[in-house]
A and B are shown apart, each in its own frame.
Chain A
Amino acid sequence: MPKKFNALLDAMDTFLRTPATITDQGSHIRDSVDMKRIMITVMIALSPALLFGWWNVGYQHFLAIGGETVLWPCLWYGFLKWLPLVIVTYVSGLAVEVLFAQIRKEEVAEGFFVTGFIIPMIMPPDVPLWIVAVATAFAVLFGKEVFGGTGYNFLNPALLARAFVFFAYPSVISGDKVWVSGGADAVTGATPLALVMNGRPEAMPSTWEMFVGTIPGCIGETCKIAILLGAAILIFTQVADWRIMFSVFTGGYVTAVICRITGLCSMAGYDQILMGGFLFGAVFMATDPVTAAHTQTGKYIYGLLIGVLAILIRTLNKGYPEGMMLAILLMNIFAPLIDYCVVQAHIRKRQKQIIQQNQSK
């Protein structure tokens, strides 16, 4: 192969084999947890939600057409729906990544592996493949590469892809026709969130159904048990920060309770938390170490505001039932500002201490 495709070659080489190149200067003791290891951990944490997602896509489909809902056909149906999505996502996203790595003469970073894994999970099962390809390319190009590639993005690329689909092609990702795969037109498979927002709360599934996840929705977001399992893995391996998850829940729950007390919304606080992509966003999206706030205090502020905003957007703006996506993207933008303020406040505090110490001497 000519040297031209160096980026691609190198990516395949380091992905499939352990390269023999070693450092030739002074050695540094480093943790063996590198970016690849972290990405794999996130993928493992995502897999329970994905497995359930496969089954649920099939379950909702057979339920809608009135067939039998047997375990293996359901799982297989969902898998076949998911497979083209994930292939298209990776091909489109990696094409942009490799192109930019080639132009910059850098190695292809591993950052896209998790992004490409998440994007199919936050799409409706029947979304057209070309739209996924366009959205992924857009998100990788404008969310990441123009700012310098993996680690320099200030927006979560997976969420950006979803936001792109949401604003550019609203008909494939909103309304009540898109959430059940292959359903006949007569079948409305509205998500619980849309039902409540459109003033039909009596059609809402029970809290238990939303917790288990046997409801229409995006592929990966419905099963709250699987997401909590993923959260446990992420917190145990310290890949994601519990502070962010904790404060997102707190902010969201308190806002939901306030909304109920003031009569803005008729739902219980815990129902709000269980609905839509709130949990998935809190666990897998808000905790993205690149786009979240980096200071400890900043993480609490960042998470709290995501929770508050997500519920507020949901309850106050009927046009945007999925407030979590917009809340996280908005706070992604503010994360550097939060960090700056936290660091400056800390500096001022220390300066005051020094002045006081000097005066008392």
Chain B
Amino acid sequence: MKKYLGPLSKDNPILVQTLGVCSALAVTAQLKPAVVMALSVTVVCAFSNLIISLIRNTIPPRIRIIVQLLIVSFWVVLVDLLLQAYFYEISKLLSVFVGLIITNCIIMGRLEAFALSHKPWPSFMDGVMNGVGYGLVLVVVAFFRELLGSGTLWNHQVIPKALYQIGYLNNGLMILPPMALILVGVMIWIRGSRVDR
């Protein structure tokens, strides 16, 4: 189990490899869409990894990217339709970013770097763990953005009304994407200063 834990910190897709940053900035204004996005990416990454790994010996190397894209698209369409069917509100909130999971560098990267050369079970676990590593960052960023930007967590008012009455204001910058970039930067900074020394 321990060998799969890399993506959580040491090999984190966002904090170390700086992949998939754009979606991390786009969907983290609130906690709920961030968690759904994290789950979607985890599902897509894990199952794409699994299938590519199963058929890895039959894929002609010259068209492997096309095959990978096809399989990733299949899972993304599946996730997208599921979200639209059961979580319509969140699906509206995430808009194009579910579809854009196809272009998420983390997934293509894991397919190329791991699934093509490993057995199905390790590939599946690798996909899950990379999804979780990605999701962890999303959740932390979304936590601070929603708390400070809207005063809520999971759409529940957390910051008491009394605080607003004495002059507290929500931080509008937190809702804008630049602040997400700064928060991701701070996470990279903290991680780097703790681990690399």
Q: Which residues of A contact B (CB under 8 A)?
A: 128, 130-131, 142, 146, 164, 167-172
Contacts and interface: CB of A to CB of B under 8 A. Distances in A.
Contacts of A171: 169
Contact of B169 (A164, A167, A172): A172
B167 A128 contact: yes
A169 B169 contact: yes
Contact of A169 (B172, B185, B189): B172
Q: State the main secondary structure of chain A at its contact with B.
A: helix
B173 interface: yes
A142 B171 contact: no
The 9 closest A-B pairs by CB, nearest first: A168-B173, A168-B171, A167-B173, A168-B172, A169-B169, A128-B167, A170-B172, A167-B172, A142-B182
A169 B171 contact: yes
Interface in B159-190: 167, 169, 171-174, 176, 182, 185, 189
A171 B169 CA distance: 9
Nearest to B176: A167
Contacts of B172: 167-170
Contact of A130 (B167, B182, B189): B167
Contacts of A128: 167, 169
8 contacts: A128-B167, A142-B182, A146-B189, A167-B176, A168-B172, A168-B173, A169-B171, A172-B169
Nearest to B173: A168
A268 B172 CA distance: 35
B176 A131 contact: no
Contacts of B182: 142
A164 B189 contact: no
A159 to B, nearest CB: 15
A172 B172 CA distance: 12
Contact of B174 (A142, A146, A168, A170): A168
Nearest to A142: B182
A142 B172 CA distance: 17
A167 B172 CA distance: 6
B149 to A, nearest CB: 9
Nearest to A129: B167
Nearest to A134: B171
Interface string B121-158: 00000000000000000000000000000000000000
Contacts of B176: 167
Contacts of A131: 169
Contacts of B174: 168
A173 B71 CA distance: 51
Nearest to B172: A168
A130 B171 CA distance: 12
Contacts of B167: 128, 130
A168 B168 CA distance: 12
